[in-house]
Amino acid sequence: MSDNEFELIESCFKGKGGHSSPFTRFAIGDDASIHHPRAGFDLVVSSDTSVEGVHWPVDFPRSRAADRAVCAALSDLAAMGADAVAVWVNVMAKDESSVRKMGKGVSSALKRYNVELVGGDTCRSPVNAIAVTVAGELPEGTAMRRDLARSDDNVWLSGKLGFHALGLQQWLHHQRDGEYVHHLEEITPLISAGIHLREMGVRCCIDVSDGLLQDAGHIAKASRIGIDIELLQLPNWIHMCRSVGRKAFYEAVLHGGEDYALLFTAPAEMEIPEALAVKIGCCREGSGVSVFRNGEPCEVEQRGFLHFG
> In this predicted model, what pLDDT tens digit does every residue of 206-231 receive, in sequence order?
999 999 999 999 999 999 999 999 99
63 shares a domain with 114: yes
Q: Is 309 annotated as a binding residue?
A: no
Residues 192 and 132 in one domain: no
Q: How many domains in the chain? A: 2
Read off φ and ψ for residue 109, nearest 5 degrees.
Answer: -65, -45
Whether residue 99 sits in one domain with residue 9: yes
Based on the domain organization, do 229 and 289 belong to the same domain?
yes
Per-residue pLDDT band at 302 (split at 50, 70, 90): low
What is the average per-residue pLDDT within 255-277?
95
Q: CATH number, domain at 245?
A: 3.90.650.10
Q: Is 68 annotated as contributing to ligand binding? A: no
Find out whether 120 is annotated in a ligand binding site: yes
pLDDT band at 247 (very low <50, low <70, confident <90, very high): confident
Is 46 within any annotated ligand binding site?
A: yes
Beta strands in the chain (DSSP E): 24-26, 34-35, 41-51, 83-93, 117-124, 129-139, 153-158, 204-207, 226-230, 262-267, 278-284, 289-293, 296-298
Q: Does the annotation list 83 as a binding residue?
A: no
Q: In this structure, is residue 10 part of a structural domain?
A: yes
In the chain, pLDDT over 70 holds for what percent of residues? 95
Q: Is 76 annotated as a binding residue?
A: yes
CATH number at residue 102: 3.30.1330.10
Is 100 annotated in some ligand binding site?
Answer: no
Residue 21 annotated as lining a ligand binding site: no
- Is the pLDDT score of 282 beyond 60? yes
Is 301 marked as a binding-site residue? Answer: no
Q: Which domain holds residue 124?
A: 5-139
Average pLDDT, stretch 146-160?
Answer: 98
Answer with the residue of higher pLDDT: 305 or 46: 46
- Please give the helix or strand (H or E) that residue 63 lies within, else none: helix 62-80
Is there a single domain that holds both residue 182 and residue 225?
Answer: yes
Q: Would you say 3 is a known binding-site residue?
A: no
pLDDT at residue 182, rounded to an integer: 84
Please indicate, yes or no, if residue 144 is contained in any of the structural domains. no
